[in-house]
Amino acid sequence: MNSESETDEASRGNEASSSITNSAPGNSNDENITHSCADPINNQDIMKRAAAKQLIERYFYQLLDGCGNSDCDNKYCASSGEARNLTPNEAAAEAIKLFNKEARLCDALPNKVPRTESSHCESGAGTTSKEATNKNDTIRLDMPSSSRSPSNVWTEEKKGETSHNVSNADDHSNLSHNNGAPLTEERIYQLCDECLQNKKRQPLKRALGEAFTQPAILARSFPSKANVDVDLENKEKVKESKAMCSSSDPDKDIDSVAGPGLDVASCRRAFQYLSKVPSDYYSSTLVLALAQLAEYLRVELSTSKKMCMDDIVNCFVIAFEVPDLGCSDYLEVALPALCHAAEFLPVKGQAKLARIWAQHCKETLRHILETLQQVITLKIISTNYQRWFQVQEDETVTLATKLMKIVYYANMLAGVMEPNTLREEAVVIASQLDPLGDALDHLYPLSSMKSSKQPLPEDPLGIELDVNVLDARKPHLPFEEFYNEPLSDTVEMDVDFANYKIKVSNGKKFSFLKYPFILTAATKSLGLYYENRIRMYSERRVSLLQAVVGAVSPMPFLKLRVRRSHIIDDALVELEMIAMERTLDLKKQLVVEFEGEQGVDEGGVSKEFFQLIVEEIFNPDYGMFTQQQDSHTVWFNPTSFETEAQFTLIGIVLGLAIYNNIILAVNFPMVVYRKLMGKKGSFEDLSDWNPILYKGLKDMLEYSESDLEETYCQTFRICYRDVYGNNIFHDLKENGDDIFVTQENKQEFVEMYADFLLNKSVEAQFKAFRRGFVMVTDESQLCTLFRPEEVETLVCGSKNFDFNELEKSTEYDGGYTSESQTIKDFWSIVHSLSLEDKRKLLQFTTGSDRVPVGGLSHLKLVIARNGPDCDRLPTAHTCFNVLLLPEYENKDKLQDRLMKAISYSKGFGML
């Protein structure tokens, strides 16, 4: 069936379903109910096709199985005896024809479209699907009127009738006729067994369709045992508690009120058993039912709000426990619809859903996450996004991302969480006057994106859950599994950053930077780069304006002039003066000049400056930092003779490196980045700070014998060494040497020991260091966008030295191509180098021996031909990552000249 005919048929299906609903007496107020639901769940065409498909399926099962009424006189129904016996293929073809001419549909179709209450096929020749089946009865939908659609035929029922079983030629147990009953584990088992043994899929499909299209029934499914065993004398109390959640509508039946508590484990076992049945037996039914459920919940949350929030959340929990249906319709229709409905959950509802998933659905979290990732990835690779249609405007992607945020918080809660009391005190930087800083804001649209020193907004869901990513010591699933690389590669970060910073008159535009967990660190670093560059531009504009009006001399850049022989002294003195006089100058673009050397800093000189200053500052001989032998990391010297101002300046250097997008060769343990982000060090941080000490303390905690005191002979007095190797003793408690560690106080000892080493012993040094760092980054979104592990990558670069990626991303100029013999020889030599020599090559060509965030594929290296064969060494423009390589006559000569160049490359000028 082509797309045009599908659309036409869907339109006729809408009209037919509208007539069924509106022709019944008592529906005068709902005259335009069906057509009022013009807003689609995800896509109007998808929902039209779904509605048409469902009507055709009704005709199909009516022709094949009948309505179950032995007195039926509908010639298009197998139960009437007038219809001829058809094969499934013939019934399918005939169903399409009946749909096109809007033939009569029986009012009762227990095999495919069950009712909450029984009904039967009314007699009367000439009655079509457009006519009411009984003039004295009112056909209603157990849904808000604004949400009715052709797919709601699942929930048609007659008011005033008594619920009873409907006979069905294909049913073989009373259980199969239990219309209106919630799903239970036992019922699913029996339905699945019946389906597998008798090859009769209709009872199972009917039960699933009925439950999933009526939230009132679904919310009461899989009840917990505590709620099932309510005594008879307490039923009135239960009824009263349910009435609190019910509407004032006297016609609303008991199914619409709050149901019993949900047994998630029972639900999961039931659906695991359901997966034994071939998915094609029930997948189409369940897809349509889930789509209708989502529409009901969306309308319920956005308008009527007649259901309890607990019931709505239970419906979401059950819906996402559904096993993999193995069909594209689930990803194209049902799941986007559920994501759309979840968007309307209030913050408290989102928090409740996150807690349930964290406490009871740990096994399901990976499935939910992978399914959402699949929806996003499939949509991205199948869509050609343009500047006029960005991925931020694709609701399938954005709604799935919003739902993934709930999964993200649930994932943290399901893992190992630390108390939120271990927080570093906030660093307050005194605001300085920025004269004329906003004078031209109305002339420069980008200036509206300039940050202010207001507290960064926190996520409302995080506040409601009282969860911060810093408290997640070990999430249930690794954070990296939330990255979506196709999305990260597709998103235009300049557009996304503008959406992130600018508030438009017609509301806020979607930005993935508000959901940073889904973006890779490399993509987010580009957003941070835009923010920093805009700030630099703003400071340069202000400086030039001040010069024009004669306020001060023009200083558009943060300019440092240093001597190589005194690089530490010169740099720290200049930075100290700037920090004291005008901190805002630190937000300007950095320009470095080495005294006595000619060169314009386009980025390469700054890279070398940072490398040289880091080498000296973190040298243990300098005395400010110590070397941790076991972990090969550097740590603050608790007995340093340097002033706190010196540590503040080191923090400024680190902040400037991030602000100017420069990677440093710094080997801090992870606890430093956690402390910079605002989380104090704890026992688990010792694992990479001092692995041997951590293992020893871990063994103590796991030691369960009663002789711990005699075995370890450890008191609350500890010993550590200063930078000179001298032993220093410290009492964790008063008279600590008299207090032995026992089974009762060992946990306290371990926590106090870690707190002293990581926090108290270096409190003054680290506080000054963090203050300097915050001076540069206080207006940045660094803490909002990045986790501590990602900040380490920003500072130190990637640890993946994959030179195959570099070869693939390298460009050629001056006559070279990837097929040139010199180029082939060059890469053959490079791949054979040791890791140390590869670092030297990176240092020579880019000014840094570190791999940029995202790997070497993000390093745009250019190799240009620099004349014919000669005795000159290769040269490089580190500012632009350009390697100038003569066309040497053979491979041996190329290797000799290249190795000499990368081994003696420091300094500016001739080698």
Instruction: Break the chain into its structural domains and give their ranges.
Output: 3-118+131-345, 372-530, 556-681+765-796, 685-758, 803-903
Q: What is the reported pLDDT for 754?
A: 94
Q: What is the reported pLDDT for 727?
A: 83
Distance CA 220, CA 183 (A): 8
Among 3-7, 63-67, 135-139, where is mean pLDDT lowest?
135-139
- Which pair of tokens denotes residue 700? 């103590």
Tell me the per-residue pLDDT of 429-481, one tens digit each, with 9 for 90 and over: 665 544 434 443 444 444 444 444 444 557 899 999 999 999 999 999 999 99
Phi, psi of 76 (to 5 degrees): -95, 15
Say if residues 560 and 574 touch (Cβ distance below 8 Å): yes
Average pLDDT over residues 827-852: 82
Residues assigned a catalytic role: 879
Q: How many Cα neighbours within 13 Å face the side chain of 102?
A: 19
Say if residues 47 and 342 touch (Cβ distance below 8 Å): no
CATH domain 685-758 topology:
Hect, E3 ligase catalytic domain (3.30.2160)
Tell me the per-residue pLDDT of 523-553, one tens digit each, with 9 for 90 and over: 999 888 888 888 888 877 777 776 666 655 6
**Best-predicted range by mean pLDDT (167-176, 334-343, 625-634):** 334-343
Class in CATH terms, 803-903: alpha beta
Is the domain spanning 556-681+765-796 CATH 3.90.1750.10? The answer is yes
Place of tokens 């509407």: 247
With H, G, I as helix, E, B as strand and everything else as coil, classify residue 223.
Answer: strand
Looking at per-residue pLDDT, the higher value among 383 and 139 belongs to: 383
Phi-psi region of 656 (alpha: psi -120 to 50; beta: other; left: phi over 0): alpha
Per 3-state DSSP, what percentage of the chain is helix, strand, and coil (rounded to 5)?
55, 10, 40
- Which pair of tokens denotes residue 721? 């060494």
| Direct distance between the N- and C-terminal alpha carbons of the chain, in angstroms, rounded to an integer | 74
Distance CA 888, CA 822 (A): 7
With H, G, I as helix, E, B as strand and everything else as coil, classify residue 720.
Answer: strand
Tell me the per-residue pLDDT of 691-705, one tens digit each, with 9 for 90 and over: 999 999 999 999 998
Phi, psi of 679 (to 5 degrees): -115, 125
Say if residues 689 and 635 touch (Cβ distance below 8 Å): yes
Looking at per-residue pLDDT, the higher value among 398 and 170 belongs to: 398
Average pLDDT over residues 738-763: 92
With H, G, I as helix, E, B as strand and everything else as coil, classify residue 331.
Answer: helix
Q: Which distant-in-sequence residues (6+ apart) come within 8 Å of 442 by Cβ? A: none
Cα dihedral 658/660/662/664 (nearest 10): -50
Tell me the per-residue pLDDT of 771-816, one tens digit each, with 9 for 90 and over: 999 988 888 888 889 999 999 888 888 777 778 888 888 889 888 8
Per DSSP bridges, beta strands 875-877 and 882-885 are antiparallel
Among 189-203, 283-297, 868-882, where is mean pLDDT lowest?
868-882
With H, G, I as helix, E, B as strand and everything else as coil, classify residue 739.
Answer: coil
Tell me the per-residue pLDDT of 422-438, one tens digit each, with 9 for 90 and over: 777 777 766 554 443 44
Q: What is the reported pLDDT for 83?
A: 66
Tell me the per-residue pLDDT of 236-292, one tens digit each, with 9 for 90 and over: 444 443 343 333 333 333 332 233 478 999 999 999 999 888 888 888 889 999 999
User: What global pTM score does this model have?
Assistant: 0.72
Nearest CA among 702, 706, 700 for reference residue 718: 700
Distance CA 614, CA 703 (A): 42
**Best-predicted range by mean pLDDT (253-257, 414-418, 579-583, 873-877):** 414-418
SS3 readout for 541-607: HHHHHHHHCCCCCCCCEEEEEECHHHHHHHHHHHHHHHHHHCHHHHHCEEEEEECCCCCCCCCHHHH
Q: Which of the four pLDDT bands, split at 50, 70 and 90, describes residue 483? A: very high
With H, G, I as helix, E, B as strand and everything else as coil, classify residue 157.
Answer: strand
Mean pLDDT over the full length of the chain: 76
Q: 488 pLDDT exceeds 70?
A: yes
Q: What is the reported pLDDT for 67?
A: 77
- Which pair of tokens denotes residue 283? 């997948």
Say if residues 881 and 846 touch (Cβ distance below 8 Å): yes
DSSP 522: H
Q: Where are the beta strands (DSSP E) in 822-899?
A: 862-865, 875-877, 882-885
What per-residue string of b and e applies to 824-833 under the rule 16 or more CB within 10 Å gives b?
Answer: ebbbebbeeb
Looking at per-residue pLDDT, the higher value among 862 and 31 belongs to: 862
Task: Please state, in angstroms and as integers, the Cα–Cα distance from residue 883 to each residue in 399, 575, 801, 817, 824, following that order.
Answer: 46, 33, 19, 14, 15
Q: Which of the four pLDDT bands, split at 50, 70 and 90, describes residue 179? A: low
Nearest CA among 354, 459, 340 for reference residue 400: 340
